[in-house]
Every structure is written in C-alpha cells, then in structure tokens.
Amino acid sequence: MELLAGKVAIITGSGRGIGAAAARLFAQHGASVIVSDLDPTPAQAVAAAITSSGGTASVVAGDVTERDFPQRLVEAALDQYGTIDIIVNNAGYTWDGVLHTMSDEQWEAMLMVHNTAPFRIIRAAAPYLRSTAKQEIQASGAATARKIINVSSTSGVYGNAGQANYATAKAGVVGLTKTLAKEWGRFNIQTNALCYGFINTRLTTDKAGGETIEREGKQIKLGVPETLIAGLTMLHPMGRPGTPEEAAGPMVFLASALSNYVNGEILEVTGGFSV
C-alpha cells in the first residue's frame, strides 16, 4: 500500500541518516521527494538510488542556515513538482560541550540550524500553503491535508548534560511545532514533531571514529564517547539503538492521511528509553 501516492515532500538533511532513510521510504510510498542536504554528493546518491528503483526524487543542495536557501528550496519544489504537500525539517547536527566552556558561536549555531532554518523554510512555504488551502476551501469546502514535520530530540524534552545548546534548540522545535499547529490547523495543515532518542547515525556513533561536519571553515566533531554508547545500550529497554529506517517509519505516519487528525503532537520515538 502506498501511503504517500502523488504527494510532494521536501526533506532537509536527507543526504544521510534519518533523513536519507525517510527519503527512501517516502519514495517507496509514492511521494516525489526533494532530497536536500548541505553535502551534494550523498544527496545525489540518495536521489539516484530512489530513481533507479522507480521512484521520483531530485536534489536541492545547500545550507539551510543560509538566508536565501529556504526560498530557493521552496521555489525548486514548486518549479519541479507544482505543489508541496509535506515539509520535513530534519537537517541538524550536534556541537556538544559543557555549558561553562560553551562559546557563543557554538550556542548560536544550534539555534540557527534547528530553529531559525525551520522557521524560515516554513515561512517561505507559507504563501503557497496558505493561499492554496484558502482556494481549496473556497472551491470545495475543504483543503487537502498537508503536513509539517519537525525533528526534535529527547534532549529537548528532558535535557542532556553536555548539550545546553542542542537541548535548548530542540525544545524550541517543540514550541514552534505546537504554535504552528494552532495557527495552521484551520488550513488542514497538521504540524507535528518527532522526538528521537538514540538512533544509529553518525551523531550517535563513537566520537573516536572521527566523523565531523564542516561549519564556517571549522571541523566540528560529531558522535558521542564510546562509554556513553555502552551505558545507553545497557540501560535501553530494547538493548540497542534504533535504525534510521525505524526512525523513518513514524515519519511516514505523520506525513500520511493516517495522521489527518493528529496535530501539535510530539511523538517520542525512543524504543521505550524515555518511558
């Protein structure tokens, strides 16, 4: 069964990890996907894999924190597919450190990528989404359901030592989500957030592995200490992190008609870790 047949989805940060798994799963469910990422090479690989297995995808590479990028992203989706049904604000990373040594740059980078960028992307899509819904309501009495999905974290809901910047930003995602749910519910646009706990991506692998993200000429180390991974695994009710594919499943639910009366929710996808 295709849950997203005929839908057009923008997924930021879909060159890797959870976003890439979501792009593949959305396409399997019939959506045309805009694969958007800071890094063009992995984004192109994700889109190529989708198209070679019969799906529809195209790449809009760029940095979500660049001021003109949100408009470019929205225009590209409308130019290529003529509509936007689903926006997934997934792009993000961590820049950990204890609060007393955290720089302003480190703090502001997290608010910029997790709060300001999603806000600007949603705002850039607002004229299209709102006017289309109004026209549909005028023509037939009801607007097509459309979806905004924001990605939060257990750090944003429960806090996490070493992540004052990330936790604050991911808590901001919750506020953004609930507010938009209240503002746009009447346009039949459901806004929800996914709150992940421990999903196996480069953000949660051993820091000693040397994964980095380049930001403003700096190589920022990603990952967590091996001892933390061992501790989390031991305490986890399922005894393991989730896979990106398992993280993408509930995203399809929130993107599909199955969630047409789910609005303003923060769905925790933690394998029971947050219970």
Ligand X SMILES: NC(=O)c1ccc[n+]([C@@H]2O[C@H](COP(=O)([O-])OP(=O)(O)OC[C@H]3O[C@@H](n4cnc5c(N)ncnc54)[C@H](O)[C@@H]3O)[C@@H](O)[C@H]2O)c1
Catalytic residue IDs: 166
Closest CB to ligand X among 6 and 225?
Answer: 225
Q: Is 70 in the site for ligand X (CB under 6 A)?
A: no
Distance CA 189, CA 207 (A): 39
Distance CA 254, CA 193 (A): 9
Please state the closest distance from residue 142 (CB atom) to ligand X, in A: 32
Please state the closest distance from residue 154 (CB atom) to ligand X, in A: 7
Looking only at the bridges linking them, the beta strands covering 8-12 and 218-221 are unpaired
Q: How far is CA 254 from CA 12, 21, 22, 73, in A?
A: 16, 15, 12, 21
Q: Is 184 in the site for ligand X (CB under 6 A)?
A: no
Q: Is 74 in the site for ligand X (CB under 6 A)?
A: no
Burial 105-130 (b: 16+ CB within 10 A, else e): ebbebbebbbbbbbbbbbebbbebbe
Q: Which of residues 187-246 bind ligand X (CB under 6 A)?
A: 196, 198-199, 201-204
Distance from the first to the final alpha carbon of the chain: 31
Binding residue (CB under 6 A) for ligand X from 7, 10, 25, 37 = 37
Please state the closest distance from residue 93 (CB atom) to ligand X, in A: 5
Of 198, 52, 189, 45, residue with least CA distance to 125? 189
Site of tokens 């997790």: 114
Q: Is 252 in the site for ligand X (CB under 6 A)?
A: no
Q: Is 18 in the site for ligand X (CB under 6 A)?
A: yes
Closest CB to ligand X among 164 and 203?
Answer: 203
* Interacting residues with ligand X (CB under 6 A): 12-13, 15-19, 37-39, 63-65, 90-93, 113, 151, 153, 196, 198-199, 201-204
